[in-house]
C-alpha cells in the first residue's frame, strides 16, 4: 500500500480547526472566534474529527463551572493520532501554522 | 424584532434543532450548545459595553445548530433518511420509480396532445359514429375522400348510415372588427356536421341567431380566448370568409372532437354552398352507422366497398370514433402482452433459490421481497404508458400513424427491457435487507466445472449472506443460490448492525 493511501484526508477547514484546537482554543466558540468560521461549519467538523479519532471531548468539572457561575463546558483536545495528522497537514498546508499560531508565540 | 433576538428565542431555536439529533445524544448535545450560547451571549454583551447589539450574530450562531444536528442525524447508522437514500436501497429504487412515474403522468396531463390521447372519447352516443377514409389511409391526417364521393353516398347509403357529414380543413384569414386579423385552420363542413357528431351547442347562441346568413362559424374555445381575448361581443357578429358573409354563432371546446386534421373553427355551410366546391376537392367524411338488431355493436374495423359504373370497385375504411379514441390504450395493452410473451427470450425468469430465512420473522423477509417486486412492476407499467404517450403524442397529433407507430415501438421496447431490468435487479439484491449486493468475486475454475462449481460470488454489505451465481448452469447447480450468514459474521461488516427494515 502506498504512503499516499495512508495519509489522512482532511479539508483545509478541518485542518484549520485541528490546528486551532492544538494551539489551545479548546471549545467550540473559541474555535469560531479564532478561525472566523460560522457555527454551522465548526461544530459538524468537530463531530467528524471526533468520530475519526483525531480529537476527544471531555466535560469540565462541575466545581470549576460553579465557582465561575457559568454552565458546564465541553472541551476538546487532540489525540495522538490527531497530532500525527496535524504534522502531515502542516506539510500539505504550509501556511496553516502562520494563519493560526500559538497566542504565546505570537506575542513574542 | 427584539423578541426574536432575545435569549429565550435563541434557546427556543436550539431546542427546535435538538429534535433532529438522535435521542441518545440529544441531552448532551443540547447541554453543550446551551453552554456555548451562554458564552456567546456574554461575549457580545461585553463587547457592546452594556448596549447589546449582537442579537443578529447570536441568532446566526443558534441557526448553525441545525447544520450540526442534521449532521448527527444523517451520520447516525440507524437514521431513516440515511437508510432510505442509501445507494442501492430498495426504498431509493421505489422512490425513483415513483418520481419518474409522477413526472411522466404530470407531463401527460400538461401536454395537450398527450392529454387528448389518454382521455376517453368526448362524444355522447358514440356508438356507430365512424370516420370514412380511403382504404389503407385510416390513420392519415390529410383528407382522402372526394366531394363527389360524399355527394354520391349521401343518397346511396341510407340503408347503411343514419347521417353523413363532410368537412374540409382550409386555411383562411379571418378579420373581425376590433381584433387583429389572423389566419385560422377552418373546418368547412356540411351543416349537419354538429348533429352527426352529437355535439351540443348552447341554445342561446345556436338557435336564437338568425338572419340572411348561409354559413355559421363556431370558434374553438382556445382560439376565442387567445386570438380574440375571450370577447363575448364576438358572438352574433358577422365576418366574411371565402367570399361569403358568415355569422359567428358560438364557441365550442376543442376537447369536444378528436377528428383527423387540425381545426381552429368550424364553418357550417348549407349543402347548396358546399356543392359549389370542385367535385374533386378532398375532405373527411363522418357518418353515423345504422345499428339494428341484426348488426353487432360497432367496435371493430369495417370496410365499405363501393362499386363503380365501369365495373371496378373502391374500398374505404370505416373506423369507429370510439375505437380511434381508445387506440393509445389498445396499443398499450397489446405491447404489454407481447412484451410479457417475449420476455423469456431476453432473460431467465426464475429469481433463484433462497433458503428459509433464519431470522425471527422468516415470512416477513419473504413478503418484503415479493412486495418490492410488485411495487416495481406496479410503478413501471404506468411509467412506460405515460412516457410513450408523452413522446408519441407530444410531437404528433393523436390520429397520426407516425404517433401510433412511435407509441407501439416505445411501449414494446420499454416494457421488454423494463421487465428484464426488474427481474435482474431483483436477482442481485439481498433477500433480507433488499440492498444491491456488491463486491463480485470469481470463484472456482472453468476447467473444473464437473468437479466443483465455478461462477461469481456477491456479498451483502449488511452481512446477511452470499449469493452464488454459476457460470454454467449444471444439473446440480442450475440457478443462483443464496447462502445465509449467521450473526457471528457481523463483526466483519461495518453496516451489519443496521436493523433490517425491509423496504427501508
Q: What is the ipTM of this complex?
A: 0.88
Q: Which residues contact B192 (CB under 8 A, 6 or more apart)?
A: B163, B165
- Cβ A44–B67 below 8 Å, yes or no? yes
Q: Which helix (H) or strand (E) holds B107?
A: helix B90-110
The residue among B355, B375, B374 whose CA lies nearest residue B365 is B355
- Give CA–CA dist B112/B107, Å, rounded: 9
In a domain, A103, yes or no: no
Judge: A39–B64 Cβ closer than 8 Å, yes or no.
yes
pTM comes to 0.61
CB contact under 8 A, A73 and B35: yes
Quick one: pLDDT at residue B47? 66
Residues 49-78 of B with CB under 8 A from A: 60-68, 71-72, 75
Would you say residue A60 lies in a domain? yes
Quick check: is A79 in a domain? yes
pLDDT at A3 over 50: no
* CB atoms B35 and A44 under 8 Å: no
Model pLDDT, residue A4: 45
| Higher-confidence position of B395 and A1 | B395
Give the chain A residue nearest B70 (alpha carbons): A44
A96 CA to chain B: closest CA distance, Å? 25
Kindly state whether residue A88 falls inside one of the protein's structural domains. yes
Q: Does A90 touch chain B (CB under 8 A)?
A: no
Q: Among B341, B350, B494, B330, which residue's Cα sits nearest to residue B404?
A: B330
Long-range contacts, B410-417 (Cβ 8 Å, 24+) = B410/B384, B411/B331, B411/B332, B411/B335, B411/B336, B411/B384, B411/B385, B412/B335, B412/B338, B412/B339, B414/B384, B414/B387, B414/B388, B415/B335, B415/B336, B415/B339, B415/B340, B415/B381, B415/B384, B416/B339, B416/B342, B416/B343, B416/B346, B417/B346
Is residue A105, in this structure, part of any structural domain at all?
no
Q: Do residue B43 and residue A51 have CB atoms under 8 angstroms apart?
A: no
Range of the domain at A46: 3-98
DSSP string, chain A: --HHHHS----HHHHHHHHHHHTT--SHHHHHHHH---HHHHHHHHHHHHHTTSEEEEEPPHHHHHHTTS---EEEEE-HHHHHHHHHHHHHSTTHHHHS--HHHHH-
Phi (first) and psi of residue B279, to 5 degrees? -65, -25
Of A83 and B7, more confident: A83
Give the burial class of B112: count Cβ atoms within 10 A of its Cβ; 0-12 exposed, 13-18 middle, 19 or more buried.
middle
Question: Is the separation of the CB atoms in B172 and B252 below 8 Å?
Answer: no
Is A107 among the domain residues? no
Q: What is the pLDDT of residue B338?
A: 95
How do the pLDDT tens digits run along chain B, 504 residues long?
A: 466 667 788 889 999 999 988 888 899 999 999 999 988 888 877 766 555 556 778 888 999 999 999 888 888 766 676 666 666 688 888 989 999 999 999 999 988 888 888 876 666 566 778 888 776 666 566 777 888 888 888 777 777 788 888 888 888 887 777 777 778 888 888 888 888 877 766 544 545 555 566 688 888 888 888 888 777 777 888 887 777 788 888 888 766 667 777 788 888 887 777 777 887 888 888 888 776 544 445 455 567 777 777 777 777 878 777 777 778 888 999 999 999 999 999 888 877 777 766 666 677 778 888 999 999 999 999 999 999 999 988 887 766 778 889 999 999 999 999 999 999 999 888 888 888 888 888 888 877 777 778 889 998 887 888 888 888 877 778 888 888 887 777 667 766 544 443 333
Q: For residue B65, what pLDDT is reported?
A: 93
Beta-carbon separation of B36 and A51 below 8 A: no
- Write B202-211 long-range contacts (CB < 8 A, 24+): B202/B250, B205/B235, B205/B236, B205/B249, B205/B250, B205/B251, B206/B249, B206/B250, B209/B235, B209/B236, B209/B247, B209/B249, B211/B247
**Does residue A81 contact residue A54 with C-beta atoms inside 8 Å?**
yes
Query: What is the pLDDT at residue B160?
Result: 78
Site of grid cell 421505489: B94
Size of chain B in residues: 504
- Cβ A39–B32 below 8 Å, yes or no? no
CA B311 to centroid of chain Cα atoms: 51
Whole-number Å distance between alpha carbons of B247 and B234? 10
Of residues A37, A39, A17, the one with CA closest to residue A26: A17
Pair B205, B235: CB distance under 8 Å: yes
Pair B71, A47: CB distance under 8 Å = yes
Count of domains in chain A?
1
B492: its cell numbers: 466483519
Alpha-carbon span B409 to B274, nearest angstrom: 41
For residue A40, what is the nearest residue in chain B, using CA coordinates?
B64
Instruction: Establish if A43 belongs to a structural domain.
Output: yes
Predicted local distance difference test score (pLDDT) of residue B498: 44
Which residues of chain A are within 8 Å of residue B62 when distances are taken between CB atoms? 39
pLDDT score, position B359: 63
Phi, psi of B248 (to 5 degrees): -80, 105
Q: Is A94 on the interface with B (CB under 8 A)?
A: no
A37 in any annotated domain? yes
Distance CA A53, CA B305 (A): 89
Contact, B219 vs B174, CB < 8 A? no
Element holding B67 (H helix, E strand): helix B55-75
User: Nearest to residue B214, comparing CAs of B257, B245, B182?
Assistant: B245
Flag if A28 and B34 touch (Cβ within 8 Å).
no
Angle of the A12-22 helix axis to the A80-92 helix axis, nearest 10: 130
Q: Which among B32, B64, B68 has CB closest to A74?
A: B32
Residues A56-64, mean pLDDT to the nearest whole number? 90
CATH number at residue A15: 1.10.10.10
Q: What span, in angstroms and rounded, lies between the C-alpha atoms of B35 and B246?
A: 84
Q: Looking at the complex, does the CB of residue A72 fall below 8 Å from at least one CB of chain B?
A: yes
> What is the biggest distance separating any 2 CA atoms in chain A, rounded to whole angstroms?
53
The verdict on A58 touching B (C-beta cutoff 8 Å) is no
Q: At what angle do helices A39-51 and A28-35 cross, to 10 degrees?
A: 120
Asked if residue A13 has pLDDT above 60, the reply is yes
CA angle A22, A28, A33 (to 5 degrees): 85
Chain A residues with beta carbon closer than 8 angstroms to that of B40: 29
Amino acid at each position: 500500500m502506498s504512503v499516499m493511501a495512508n495519509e489522512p484526508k482532511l479539508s483545509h477547514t478541518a485542518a484549520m480547526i485541528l490546528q486551532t484546537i492544538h494551539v489551545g482554543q479548546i471549545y467550540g466558540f473559541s474555535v469560531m472566534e479564532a478561525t472566523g468560521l460560522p457555527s454551522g461549519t465548526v461544530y459538524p467538523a468537530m463531530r467528524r474529527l471526533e468520530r475519526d479519532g483525531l480529537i476527544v471531548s471531555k466535560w469540565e468539572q462541575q466545581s470549576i463551572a460553579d465557582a465561575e457561575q457559568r454552565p458546564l463546558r465541553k472541551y476538546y483536545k487532540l489525540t495522538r493520532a490527531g497530532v500525527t495528522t496535524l504534522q502531515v497537514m502542516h506539510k500539505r498546508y504550509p501556511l496553516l501554522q502562520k494563519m493560526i499560531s500559538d497566542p504565546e508565540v505570537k506575542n513574542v | 424584532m427584539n423578541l426574536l433576538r432575545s435569549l429565550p428565542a435563541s434557546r427556543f431555536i436550539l431546542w427546535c434543532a435538538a429534535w433532529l439529533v438522535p435521542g441518545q445524544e440529544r441531552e448532551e448535545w443540547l447541554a453543550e450548545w446551551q453552554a456555548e450560547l451562554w458564552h456567546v451571549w456574554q461575549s457580545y454583551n461585553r463587547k457592546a459595553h452594556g448596549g447589546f447589539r449582537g442579537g443578529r450574530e447570536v441568532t446566526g450562531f443558534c441557526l448553525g445548530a441545525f447544520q450540526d444536528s442534521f449532521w448527527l442525524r444523517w451520520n447516525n447508522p440507524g437514521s431513516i433518511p440515511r437508510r432510505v437514500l442509501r445507494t442501492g436501497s430498495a426504498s431509493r429504487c421505489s422512490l425513483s420509480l415513483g418520481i419518474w412515474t409522477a413526472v411522466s403522468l404530470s407531463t401527460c396531463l400538461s401536454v395537450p396532445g398527450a392529454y387528448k390521447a389518454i382521455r376517453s372519447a368526448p362524444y355522447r352516443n358514440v356508438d356507430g359514429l365512424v370516420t370514412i377514409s380511403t382504404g389503407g389511409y385510416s390513420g392519415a391526417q390529410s383528407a382522402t375522400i372526394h366531394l363527389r364521393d360524399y355527394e354520391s353516398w349521401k343518397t346511396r347509403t341510407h340503408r347503411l348510415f343514419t347521417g353523413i357529414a363532410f368537412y374540409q380543413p382550409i386555411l383562411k384569414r379571418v378579420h373581425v372588427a376590433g381584433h387583429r386579423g389572423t389566419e385560422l385552420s377552418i373546418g368547412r363542413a356540411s351543416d349537419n356536421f354538429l348533429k352527426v357528431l352529437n355535439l351540443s351547442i348552447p341554445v342561446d347562441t345556436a338557435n336564437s341567431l338568425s338572419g340572411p346568413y348561409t354559413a355559421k362559424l363556431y370558434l374553438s374555445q382556445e382560439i376565442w380566448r387567445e386570438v380574440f381575448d375571450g370577447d363575448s361581443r364576438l358572438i352574433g357578429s358577422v365576418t366574411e370568409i371565402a367570399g361569403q358573409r358568415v355569422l359567428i354563432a358560438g364557441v365550442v371546446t376543442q376537447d369536444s372532437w378528436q377528428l383527423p386534421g387540425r381545426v381552429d373553427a368550424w364553418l357550417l355551410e348549407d349543402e347548396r354552398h358546399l356543392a359549389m366546391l370542385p367535385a374533386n376537392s378532398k375532405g373527411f367524411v363522418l357518418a353515423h352507422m345504422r345499428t339494428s338488431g341484426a348488426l353487432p355493436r360497432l367496435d371493430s374495423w369495417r370496410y365499405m366497398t363501393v362499386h363503380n359504373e365501369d365495373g371496378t370497385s373502391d374500398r374505404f375504411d370505416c373506423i369507429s370514433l370510439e375505437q380511434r379514441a381508445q387506440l393509445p390504450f389498445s396499443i398499450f395493452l397489446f405491447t404489454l402482452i407481447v412484451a410479457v410473451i417475449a420476455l423469456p427470450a431476453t432473460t431467465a425468469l426464475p429469481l433463484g433459490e433462497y433458503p428459509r430465512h433464519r431470522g425471527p420473522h422468516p415470512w416477513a423477509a419473504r413478503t418484503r421481497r415479493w412486495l418490492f417486486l410488485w411495487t416495481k412492476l406496479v410503478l413501471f407499467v404506468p411509467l412506460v404508458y405515460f412516457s410513450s404517450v408523452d413522446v408519441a403524442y407530444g410531437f404528433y397529433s393523436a390520429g397520426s400513424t407516425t404517433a401510433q407507430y412511435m407509441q407501439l415501438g416505445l411501449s414494446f421496447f420499454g416494457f421488454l427491457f423494463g421487465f428484464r431490468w426488474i427481474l435482474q435487479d431483483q436477482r442481485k439484491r439481498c433477500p433480507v435487507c433488499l440492498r444491491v449486493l456488491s463486491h463480485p468475486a470469481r470463484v472456482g475454475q472453468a476447467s473444473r466445472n464437473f468437479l466443483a462449481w465455478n461462477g461469481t460470488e456477491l456479498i451483502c454489505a449488511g452481512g446477511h449472506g452470499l449469493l452464488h451465481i454459476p457460470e454454467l448452469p449444471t444439473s446440480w447447480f442450475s440457478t443462483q443460490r443464496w447462502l445465509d450468514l449467521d450473526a457471528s459474521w457481523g463483526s466483519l461488516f461495518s453496516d451489519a448492525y443496521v436493523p433490517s427494515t425491509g423496504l427501508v
